[in-house]
Structure 1
């Protein structure tokens, strides 16, 4: 341990519990005693029973639990103004796409897009999330504003790590083409040129980068051609960028891949250079054992989005089977238009419950050959914290983020369990995941900077933000009518 006295130092003292985000092995424990953590500069400098240094900032964590700040690996921030749209509320994925995101997407000007991004980022920060990967697909020829720049700017203002998953399409689904508000697809040359522009301006390849760019055509099976899949994969790898897309969210993907290519979606992606340790997919709800094995063999990851998958009736991703096979697992909240609680606490709570429910649904009585009663061993609290922190950071190549350990980036969420839903817990450490809700934040640190203090974000007026959101929703509904 080396203390850099010239850098700002903060001592977080007397935590009730510290969960590390680690895998939970003997040499990589899921929790440590602490009870103190020292931050020097942007790094965790020491963990243990620590003596304050002269002049260092003290954060009192008495009765609080500390987690690594959450790492959200899949979002659509522009959808933060599309929560609970009645036209798509009870629709499955394909009709929901037409009813909600495609119907409203062309109505997003620079002001509305920026407001939506700000709302979504603030919602995430208040849940203890410091790293956000946004799958932005609001791009079209002649676009009058730079949606990518807005996202980087809004995240930077809040002090968060931001990974742009640069979406887009060179072709459209039929349902998009028929919509009156449809947006034109880009050319592959235009898409590639913008990737190169963004990479030059924003991409940082370091293991604790504050800004990253990822090549992320919206849906590889539908948004680009098979030949373009190979071209985009080559483009990404030429520039040292990772790859991301949607895949196998519903049975529709299986039907499409079989009808067009006589293959499973995962096998098809493998034949077109879209599997590997630099690739992760959102959803992967509908995958068979062979596909899981192929994902594991190639090191291809998943962004598990259980709330959106539940809201759209898509199903539950077999995360337990994936993790056991060696598939890298992370957690994403997906867009707020299919997840009206687009924050990480709600998402990890759902992850914990849904995996147990899924395994439990497979239980059969003994007279029918059953061998177990339920699925309570499908996901532990430590599993879920690992997937939502270090797991996500590793998938995105942020190898010094997502874990509470000396030498890692100081991204920490200090939760106060001061709501009655947390009273009576025998083990306070499990509270934020097991009890759900939204525990108040004594502090959220990102790269050593305290970006949330006593549940407040400096410069953010929530009442004014709510007023702006209500006004924007009224405008969108009037213009879409």
Structure 2
């Protein structure tokens, strides 16, 4: 037999990330060969074949996180921003601490965020990094990629930034000043040439991602960015319609809705996805669906900032590809994918229930208990995210797909008593411990341990770094 095969044996349940009846597979075994799923079914172990015993475990596709801000991992529960809505929170926390980050604190933030995600069963991370400014003394892009490589994770760098500011540039500190558009585009070219690998098993991708379309660049530059991205064969990403302020700003400044503004500047299509999309008009949903423009749904951050809940069933019905992202830890103090899927499942039901009206004609009150199934959420958080990121061979447990596989033990009391163990990692919340996590067929986490990682040391480093950041801001 091939020395490059591995057998996952005796899984209690398998959720595949696929739609409809294919969402579950009886298994109970999965063979991986050369990093790819070769077979699923009742399989016989080959001589000397490495074995992972998944007895009493549930198996999911590894999560695909389509929107994060890893640098915020050292800004959790920052007091001045803790009880603020989006606009005030931006000023109170990420903008206020922006200049306080140096190479060391940035690297530690990235590492903490990736470890938090990895321990939740996440293989692929789209980091929307916007910590760039003129004359920056370190290369944040290199750090994101190098930290991902050290952990064996798939990194999609969404290169953020701005080429125009919201105030007179001379009044801004250096760390808040916009970049020159020529420099921004040149850096995109540099990153694509150095890191971007479009092959299916690639662990490195680059995306054109000005931070916020309505504010980060003027219209002609947005159109130029879209053209450059498509010439380079990379995708496009940004924030959009997180709050009603987006709609008000677009109408006041441009005389159109935010989605219309995107269409006007070539920022719709099946190579584009936006974070949030909480506040949309019906005609905007139609435009997004017809163009196959995707969403990174971030339910916990949207709840924490009081922004609202995106209407995923309406978006999906219209044809919008759905994925899940955790957003930044500064507006989501549990920036991991298990917490995010749990919130997505609950909040879609809450949203539908809030829309229901009491009936006084003797009929039955219509609740929201059927708004989203566990299988829907798993699909959004795995295959949905992979498709949005262009990872066509990732995100599902299916023969021929890359072996990005999370095996959960469910050995914590919060999972005891489950009648359907398959739904535990999403329905029960918390963090189910990992029997194993595989990325491209390589075992990255085994028995809930990341080899070589000292969590106690990382905790002390984080505590010290928080004090350092606080002192720099006060100083």
What's the TM-score once normalised by structure 1's chain length? 0.96
The change in CA–CA distance for 1:182 and 1:110 in structure 2 (over 3 A counts) is closer
Worse-superposed segment, 149-158 or 198-207 = 198-207
Contact 1:44-1:408 at 8 Å conserved across structures: yes
Query: Where in structure 2 are the equivalents of 1:229-244 lying within 5 Å?
Result: 229-244=222-237
Given the alignment, which residue of 7, 21, 26 partners 1:11?
Answer: 7
2:196 and 2:205 in contact (8 A); partners too: yes
Counterparts of residues 95-114 of structure 1 (less than 5 Å): 95-114=88-107
Q: C-alpha distance in 2, partners of 1:107/1:478?
A: 9
Structure 1 residues 355-398: Cα deviation after superposition (integer angstroms, max 9, x where no partner): 00000001111138987520111111010000000000001110
For the 8 Å contact 1:334–1:342, the answer to whether it is kept is: yes
Counterpart pick for 2:136 among 123, 135, 143: 143
- In the TM superposition, residue 181 of structure 1 has moved relative to its aligned partner by 7.1
5 Å-filtered alignment, 1:307-456, equals 307-367=300-360, 372-456=365-449
Question: Is 1:191 the equivalent of 2:184?
Answer: yes
Q: Find the counterpart in structure 2 of residue 31 from structure 1.
A: 24
Q: 1:373 to 1:390 in 2, by over 3 A?
A: same
Change beyond 3 A, Cα 1:407–1:355: same
Aligned 8 A contact 2:128 2:159 in 1 = yes
Residues 378/9 of structure 1: CA separation in 2 closer, same or farther (3 Å cut): same
Long gaps (5+) in structure 1? none
Cα distance change of structure 1 residues 177 and 121 upon mapping to structure 2, 3 Å threshold: farther
Distance 1:413 1:246 in 2: 29
Contact 1:363 1:370 in 2 (8 A): no
Q: Is the 8 A contact 1:412 1:444 kept in 2?
A: yes
2:252 counterpart residue number: 259
- Structure 1 residue 209, shift from structure 2 partner: 2.2
TM-aligned CA deviation for residue 6 of structure 1: 3.9
Change in 2 beyond 3 A, CA 1:300/1:356: same
2:111 aligned with 1:118: yes
1:188-222 alpha-carbon deviations (Å, 9 max, x no partner)? 10001000000011111123321100000000110
1:166 to 126, 141, 159: 159
> Do 2:132 and 2:175's aligned partners in 1 also have CA atoms closer than 8 Å?
no
**Structure 2 contact 133–176 (Cα < 8 Å) conserved:** yes
- Residues 476 and 176 (structure 1 numbering): CA distance in 2 closer, same or farther, change over 3 Å? farther
The equivalent position to 2:61 in structure 1, one of 61, 64, 68, is 68
Work out the CA distance in 2 between the residues paired with 1:333 and 1:226.
28
Task: Label 1:371 to 1:317 Cα distance change in 2 as closer, same or farther (>3 A).
Answer: farther
Q: 1:280-299 residue pairs with structure 2 within 5 A?
A: 280-299=273-292
SS class of match (2:456): helix
Which residue number in structure 1 is paired with residue 74 of structure 2?
81
- 8 Å contact from structure 2 (residues 7, 51) kept in 1: yes
Partners of 1:329 and 1:392 within 8 A in 2: yes
Moved more, 6-15 or 305-314: 6-15
Does residue 217 (structure 1) correspond to residue 213 (structure 2)? The answer is no
Alpha-carbon separation, structure 1, partners of 2:236 and 2:265: 13
Quickly say closer, same or farther: Cα 1:373–1:139, change in 2 above 3 A.
same
- Partners of 1:83 and 1:213 in 2: CA distance: 27
Q: Secondary structure at the match of 1:366?
A: coil
Secondary structure of the structure 2 residue equivalent to 1:233: helix
Tell me how far 1:174 sits from its aligned partner. 3.6
Contact 2:132 2:161 (8 Å CA) reproduced: yes
Residues 45, 407 of structure 1: 8 Å contact kept:
yes
For residue 327 of structure 2, give the secondary structure of its aligned residue in structure 1. coil
1:273 to 256, 259, 266: 266
Q: Distance in 1 between matches of 2:269 and 2:362?
A: 38
- Distance in 2, Cα, partners of 1:39 & 1:370: 53
Looking at structure 1, the residues matched to 241 and 142 of structure 2 have their Cα atoms a distance apart, in angstroms, of 30
Instruction: Provide the C-alpha distance between the structure 2 equivalents of 1:255 and 1:440, rounded to a whole number of angstroms.
Output: 44
**Normalized against structure 2, the TM-score is what?**
0.98
State the distance in 2 between where 1:94 and 1:179 align.
18
* Paired residues of 1:364 and 1:370 also in contact (CA < 8 A): no
CA RMSD of aligned residues (A): 1.5
Deviation at 1:157, TM superposition (A): 0.6
Moved more, 38-47 or 176-185: 176-185
What's the CA shift for 1:11? 0.7
Determine the C-alpha separation between the residues in 2 that align with 1:329 and 1:270. Answer: 19
Q: 1:90 is matched with which residue?
A: 83
Equivalent-residue separation in structure 2 for 1:182 and 1:141 (angstroms): 8
